Amino acid sequence: METRMLNVRINGRAYEVPEGITILKAAQEYANIDIPTLCYLEGISEEGACAICVVEVKGAKNLQRACVVKVTDGMEVWTNTARVREARKLNVELLLANHPTDCFTCEKNQICRLRELAAEVGVREVEFPRTRSEWLPFDETSLSLIRDPNKCVLCRRCVNVCAKVQSVYAIDIVGRGSNSMVSTFLDEGLGNVECVNCGQCLLVCPTGAITERSEIPGVWKALGNPDKVVVVETAPAVRVAIGEEFGMPDGTQATGKMVAALRGLGFNQVFDTDFSADLTIMEEGYELIGRLKNGGTLPLITSCSPGWIKFAETFFPNVLDHVSSCKSPQQMFGTVTKTYWAEKMGLDPRNVVVVSIMPCTAKKFEKERPEMKTAFHYWQEKLGLRDDEAFNDVDYVLTTREAAQMIRESGMDFANLPDEEFDRPLGESSGAAVIFGATGGVMEAALRTGYEVLTNRTLEKLEFEDVRGLAGIKSAEVDIDGTILRVAVANGLGNARALMDQVQKGESPYQFIEIMCCPGGCLGGGGQPISDHPDVKQRRAEAIYREDAGKPIRKSHENPEILEIYKEFLGEPNSEKAHHLLHTEYCDRSCD
Amino acid sequence: MIRNELLICAGGACITSGEKSVKDALIEELNSHSIQEEVQVIETGCMGACDLGPIVVVYPEGTFYQKVTPETARLIVSEHLVKGRVVESLLYTEPETQQKVASGAEIPFYTRQVKRVLRNCGVIDPLSIEEYIARDGYFALATALEMSPEDIIGVVTESGLRGRGGAGFPTGFKWKATRDAKGSPKYVVCNGDEGDPGAFMDRSVLEGDPHSVIEAMTIAGYAVGAQRGYMYVRAEYPLAIERFEWALRKAREYGFLGENILGSGFSFDIEIRIGAGAFVCGEETALLRSIEGKRGTPSVKPPFPAQAGLWNRPTLINNVETYANIPQIITKGAQWFRSVGSPKSPGTKVFALAGNVQNTGLVEVPMGTTLRELVFDIGGGIPGGKKFKAAQTGGPSGGVITADYLDMPIDFDTVKELGTIMGSGGLIILDEDSCMVDVAKFYLGFTVDESCGKCTPCREGTRQMYHTMERICEGKGRDGDIEQLSRLAEVVRDTSLCGLGQSAPNPVLSTLRFYQDEYRAHIYDKKCPSHVCKHLLTYSVSADKCVGCTACARQCPSHAISGEVKKAHVIDQSKCSKCGTCYEVCRFGAIQKE
């Protein structure tokens, strides 16, 4: 059906716009007018709460909210009258009256939407006093995120992302009027409720009300300690986003500069999480093959994404046997570094510090899981370690943003650094590992290896286009020598929930499912640079696939370092040793 | 064989002033005289004259006994019912003539009223569906089920009925829009979340005549094409909930609700939903969210409920009083409905009359009645010989009508011209001792507390306005405050998301319009002309009246008063906390307050 076109006048000029368009979009797309917004997030947060985007509409008694009011035929809109400007300015002033003024030290100071908005509408003075009598305590219960309710402007973007995109519903508005605030169930704090630590709330927060729990000071301290060997690993999605922090275009492949910068920070070894992503493919691929051959529980579901894992443990505890027992690449890396590599290098694992740079906030939670002390158990008897000397496999997790901050602090001119290579032996990786950073990547990587292992034939076309792209749920059928493998990929937990509901009912048509917690996969993770560019995820994804295409090795099982670690240390994929070191177990969190 | 009926008002005010013990005393006394079989005791809904409660009316005579206590209740039995002698001491005394009035029908408070919505309240036993039926109850439903839905909507539209919840939107339009809307199922909702302070019109209807609302909602369901209705009522109205629930059960038993109503093939039922006490849930979009089990916060209109209401389906939502008008419009016709009231606001309006007025309570008068008739004829004037100053209408969303407009007919449009709103019908009378700045601050404080917090202007703007009002009343007003209040009020009105915020500045705007001199006195002269704002008062001892009894000095909590016995005392202004204790305890009128 053809869309009906409507006549609208915006600031006196006539436009033809399609039926169903909001005033905001019509002004933006047809009249080149950017109406300022604060609480609006297209498709996710469309509540008209902040009252910043107000415009005059002829015949309407009150100012109308451009973000939610749709254009009607013959409508006359005025976006720039004295009445409109006064209303916007005053409403911003009202928000500022109770907002902390610690902008100098605020983590979001360079990217604060509220600060930007105050400048846009021309607030030069706030004539109103602070009316909230008390400063509210921070929510520091989470291992990943910290909330400062004092900086919250009650825009509800976080609430809507958590509910509508992630279907987690960890936060909502409590209290009313000027006492209303974003909080958790019974004000228990993010660390004590169903929050999966994904950090999507942080990405959409227009102020500094939600930030990651920074681990920068600990990393600087370790780097300054001559007794420690500080090893860094970088996740695939970091390299295609970190450039944004330094003004480089979206989708810049900055792998070499990132390696150079990290080396410049003083890390003793700059390794690649992609190495352990290849390892994950070996372990998970063989787990899938085993289940297919032996009639195991299917579908098998990937386990790389710690936000997804906590989600499954919280909402689907009775089907956890579907989830692969493989640790995530980050945790495999930590274990391998402190066992295989430390042994190989003759290092005391207690002096090895593993720092991982992740596009993710949930990884901060993951590294603290009690199961993630495998290297300690490996060494306990050999070195005669006491229980209270237990150490984590991964010591520090930095988000992409935190890594960029450290680079800024060091004064390096990131964009002009020469490209450098990862250190060996944990720095080699295949193209299959790189694409872990995009939704569908783990699936594609697993198919590349699975196909060749099962058929003993070389895969002609490495690209599985059906599982690529930013769609929420993708599915494909792969012909493996006449056997059809049905696979599905979900990104964003709302989409994951849809697939899991099928699994729970025993109605899932798939044998293998990839689930990534964040929209777009890791490239859209809660630890990534904050951006309001609509196509930033697309650009990052393109960079990831370019990186893959440019790699000499594009299949995990062809990575020579992977072959070496199995030969020297692990034996076979899914061997007892591999199981002991690289696999984990899950718990029921439904009653937490 | 029943020879007499004793009607006891069981409205909220009478219950709080001891109706239950009066009833117990009556029954006990009837038993002791062994006439319990001859006299029936019936608890009714609110009779309206709340300041006269507890009220007992003896039928068939219609003798109206006021301010009955358990002791005097026994007299009604032993004197009136046993000996046939009217208990003179319990009759209403007409204030002007000092004549005793035996029949309720002759009390001016009642004679001036036109009871349509309240026609059954205080007359029938709300727990008896038979009594409702005996008063033509469910006749309208039977009539409507033989009409086409379009004809019903036609009659409602023609009657000119406008929503009694506050905004006065034409009811017929809403019905038609819901009927015409695409989507199913459709829903019918009754807004019984009456939240204005001092308002209890809807509560009285639900408590006193619940079937009228059930009947109307069923007619509405048939007219708009809905099979399910929700009665949303606030948890603070337990008696209304109890009686409505009972009435629902009876209506189902009698086949007025449920499957295939009266053999028409039309099915409809109603569920009660209880609100948790948020004022904003009286706003229709917030109310619908609350019924859905979500947090009650408003959303932007359009879409209107008629297009996308409950669970995004077309939903008709009217308030209790609006529905209560419907059965009679169906049975008596649109022309009958228009026979009272003003052309653009036909029919009657129920007001909750309160404040500084002789007769407080529930009154129903034709639209277009003047404020003077309401205050002086029905309300009996201002107590203590004080002067009328203003009437506050529309609760926290409204404003004031001043003495200059006493003779203006009150309807939806006239009050709007004065910068206030009809609202749901709260009418607070203020005498000359009221400080209008303080009154505005009170109502604004209510909105600040009840704002849901969703939109910036309502959440933050009203708070800032309140902050300024507080400063002004504390004597810390500054030059520029009036301008700042006006600036805030304008933007809060213009940009708030829902009616609550849009109307929240009204009490301030209205008093700024009519009583700006009082604001100026507070801000610039640091005086409260009505001697209400504590911080702006100065207490002093008049030396020629003070006998030196030391009472004030002994009672003063801040030890601000000194003086020798039998000599004039002095108040140390630096210590005075302005609590007013000295003023209260002085028996010689020697303490001056200015």
Q: At B105, is the pLDDT very low, low, confident or very high (cuts 50, 70, 90)? A: confident
pLDDT for B95 = 80
Residue in the block written with tokens 């002269």: B525
Question: How high is the mean pLDDT of chain A?
Answer: 95
Rounded (10°) angle between helices A306-315 and A493-504: 40
Q: Which among B302, B498, B457 is positioned nearest to A23, based on CA atoms?
A: B302
Residue A123, Cβ density class (10 Å: 0-12 exposed, 13-18 middle, ≥19 buried): middle
Six-digit token pair at A120?
Answer: 């846009």
Residue B104 has pLDDT above 90, yes or no: no
- Rounded to whole angstroms, the Cα distance separating B173 from B160 reads 10
Q: What is the mean pLDDT of residues A120-140?
A: 93
Q: How confident is the model at residue B96 (pLDDT cuts 50, 70, 90)?
A: confident
Q: Residue B502 — pLDDT band, cuts 50, 70, 90? A: very high
Write the DSSP assignment of A306-333 as a string of letters: HHHHHHHHHH-GGGGGGB--BPPHHHHH
For B86, other C-beta atoms within 10 Å of its C-beta total: 16
Nearest CA in chain B to A127: B484
Question: Which of B302, B456, B494 is facing A94, going by the closest CB pair?
Answer: B456
State yes or no: is A363 an active-site residue.
Answer: yes
- Residue A89 in tokens: 């300015």
Would you list the DSSP string of B254-301?
Answer: TTSSBSSGGGSS--BEEEEEEE-S-GGGGSHHHHHHHHTTS------S
pLDDT for residue A1: 66
Write out the two tokens for A572.
Answer: 């076979």
Q: Which residues make Cβ contacts (< 8 Å) with residue A266, sequence separation at least 6? A: A223, A224, A230
Mean pLDDT of B481-490: 97
The yes-or-no verdict on residue A132 having pLDDT over 70 is yes
Considering only CB atoms, which chain A residues are within 8 Å of B491?
A: 86-87, 90-91
CA-to-CA distance for A436 and B593, rounded, in angstroms?
Answer: 80
Residue carrying the six token digits 């509800």: A156
Per the annotation, the verdict on A572 as an active-site residue is: no
**Residue A108 to residues A103, A208, B118, Cα–Cα distance (Å):** 8, 5, 61
Q: Please check whether residue A235 is in contact with residue A200, taking contact to mean a CB–CB distance below 8 angstroms.
A: no
Distance from CA of A52 to the nearest CA of B (A): 9
Closest Cα to residue A239, out of A369, A433, A504?
Answer: A433
Q: What is the pLDDT of residue B511?
A: 96
Tell me: the pLDDT tens digits for A203-235? 999 999 999 999 999 999 999 999 999 999 999
What confidence tier does A549 reach under pLDDT thresholds 50, 70, 90? very high
pLDDT digits (tens, 9 = 90+) for B354-379: 999 999 999 999 999 999 999 999 99
Record the tokens describing residue A326, joined without a space. Answer: 């493989």
Residue ranges of chain B assigned to CATH 3.10.20.600: 342-431
- B344 pLDDT above the threshold of 90: yes
Catalytic residue of the set A366, A428, A547, A561: A366
**Partner residues linked to B350 by β-bridges:** B364
Residue B566's Cβ-count burial label (10 Å; 0-12, 13-18, 19+) is exposed
Q: Which amino acid is at B239?
A: L
Q: Is A505 tagged catalytic?
A: no
Among A37, A154, A176, which would you mutate to test the B interface (most chain B Cβ atoms within 10 Å of its Cβ)?
A176
Query: Per-residue confidence at B166, pLDDT binned at 50, 70, 90?
Result: confident
**For residues B193 and B277, what is the distance between their CA atoms, to the nearest angstrom?**
8
Query: Torsions phi, psi of A512, nearest 5?
Result: -145, 130
- pLDDT number for residue B197: 85
Most confident of B41-50, B274-283, B315-324, B565-574: B315-324
Give domain B537-593's CATH number out of 3.30.70.20, 2.120.10.30, 3.90.45.10, 3.40.50.1820: 3.30.70.20
Report which secondary-structure segment, H or E, holds A407.
helix A400-410
Is the Cβ–Cβ distance between B496 and B393 less than 8 Å? no
Does the annotation count A287 as an active-site position?
yes
pLDDT at A283: 96
Looking at the DSSP bridge assignments, the partners of residue B162 are B170
Catalytic residue among A371, A420, A421, A542: A371
- d(CA B347, CA B341) in angstroms, rounded, equals 5
CA A151 to chain CA centroid, nearest Å: 23
- The residue behind tokens 């994904």 is A198
Considering only CB atoms, which chain A residues are within 8 Å of B499?
Answer: none
Sign of CA dihedral A100, A103, A105, A107: positive
Domain B129-337: CATH superfamily is NADH-ubiquinone oxidoreductase 51kDa subunit (3.40.50.11540)
User: Is residue B2 over pLDDT 90?
Assistant: no
Minimum CA–CA partner of A92 in chain B: B456
Mean pLDDT of B219-223: 98
- Is the CB of A51 less than 8 angstroms away from the CB of B495? yes
Indicate yes or no: CB of B453 within 8 angstroms of CB of A154: yes
Residues of A in contact with B488 (CB under 8 A): 90
Q: What's the pTM?
A: 0.92
CATH number of B342-431: 3.10.20.600
Tell me which residue of B551, B553, B544, B549 sits closest to B565, measured CA to CA: B549
All domains of chain A in start order, with CATH: 5-94 (3.10.20.740), 136-211 (3.30.70.20), 216-582 (3.40.50.1780)
Q: Are residues B575 and B559 in contact, defined by beta-carbon separation less than 8 angstroms? A: yes
CATH no., domain B436-524: 1.20.1440.230
B469 has pLDDT over 90: yes
Binary contact (A177, B456; C-beta < 8 A): no
Candidates B419, B425, B399, B502; CA nearest to B164 is B425
Write down the catalytic residue from A39, A304, A326, A518. A304
Are B220 and B161 in contact, with CB atoms under 8 Å apart?
no
Bridge partners (DSSP) of residue B58 are: B6, B63
Encode pLDDT of B36-59 as tens digits: 999 999 999 999 999 998 999 999
Closest partner residue to A177 among B300, B453, B497, by Cβ? Answer: B453
pLDDT tens digit sequence for B276-305:
889 999 999 999 999 999 999 999 998 999
Q: What is the pLDDT of residues B203-213, one digit of tens each?
A: 999 999 999 99
If one compares A481 and B490, the residue with the highest pLDDT of the two is B490
Mean pLDDT value across residues B19-27: 95
- Using CB atoms, pick whichever of A91, A94, A173 lies closest to residue B295: A173
Q: Where in chain B is the domain with CATH 1.20.1440.230?
A: 436-524
Residue for token pair 């529930």: B362
* Residue type present at position B488: L
Question: pLDDT tens digit string along B242-265?
Answer: 999 999 999 999 999 999 999 999
Q: Of these residues, A107, A245, A283, A287, which one is catalytic?
A: A287
Q: For residue A76, what are the β-bridge partners?
A: A9
Specify whether the CB–CB gap between A424 and A259 falls below 8 A: no
Full 3-state SS string of A143-204: CCEEECHHHCCCCCHHHHHHHHHCCCCCEEEECCHHHCEEEEHHHCCHHHCCCCCCCHHHHH
DSSP H helix total and E strand total for chain B: 25, 21
**Cα distance between residue B441 and residue B511, in whole Å:** 10
SS3 state of residue A58:
coil
Does residue B171 have a pLDDT over 70?
yes
Does residue B332 register a pLDDT over 80? Answer: yes
Q: Characterize A400-427 residue by residue with b for buried, 16 or more Cβ atoms within 10 angstroms of its Cβ, and e for exposed.
A: bbbbbbbbeeeebebeebeebebbebbb
A284 in catalytic set: yes
- CATH top class, domain B4-106: alpha beta
Among B459, B490, B493, the residue with its CB nearest the CB of A177 is B459
User: Letter for the amino acid at B238?
Assistant: P
Contact (CB, 8 A) for B60 and B106: no
User: pLDDT tens for residues B173-199?
Assistant: 999 999 999 999 999 999 999 988 888
How far is the C-alpha of B229 from the C-alpha of B189, rounded, in Å? 5
Residue A227's pLDDT is 96
* Contact (CB, 8 A) for B518 and B510: no
Q: How far is CA A335 from the centre of its chain?
A: 23
Partners of residue B349 on adjacent β-strands: B365
pLDDT tens-digit map of A379-415: 999 999 999 999 999 999 999 999 999 999 999 999 9
Smallest Cβ distance to B460: which of A68, A69, A98?
A98
With pLDDT > 90 as the criterion, what percentage of chain A qualifies? 94
CB contact under 8 A, B464 and A131: yes
CA distance A47 to chain B (A): 7
Angle between helices B462-473 and B436-450 (to 10 degrees): 150
Which residue of chain A is at minimal alpha-carbon distance from B297?
Answer: A176
Distance of CA B246 to the CA centre of its chain: 24
**Most A-contacting residue of B484, B495, B498 (CB-CB within 10 A), to test interface:** B495
What residues form DSSP beta bridges with A231? A269, A354
3-state secondary structure of B448: helix
Binary contact (B448, A177; C-beta < 8 A): yes
Neighboring chain A residues of B301 at a CB cutoff of 8 Å: none
Please name the helix (run of DSSP H) or strand (run of DSSP E) that holds residue A255, with its range, or none.
helix A255-265
Interatomic CA distance for residues A404 and A359, integer angstroms: 12
H-state helical runs in B474-546: 481-495, 499-503, 506-514, 516-524
Per the annotation, the verdict on A112 as an active-site residue is: no
Nearest CA in chain A to B467: A131
How many residues comprise chain A? Answer: 592
Q: For chain B, where do the domains classified as CATH 3.40.30.10 start and end?
A: 4-106
B555, burial (CB in 10 Å: exposed 0-12, middle 13-18, buried 19+): middle
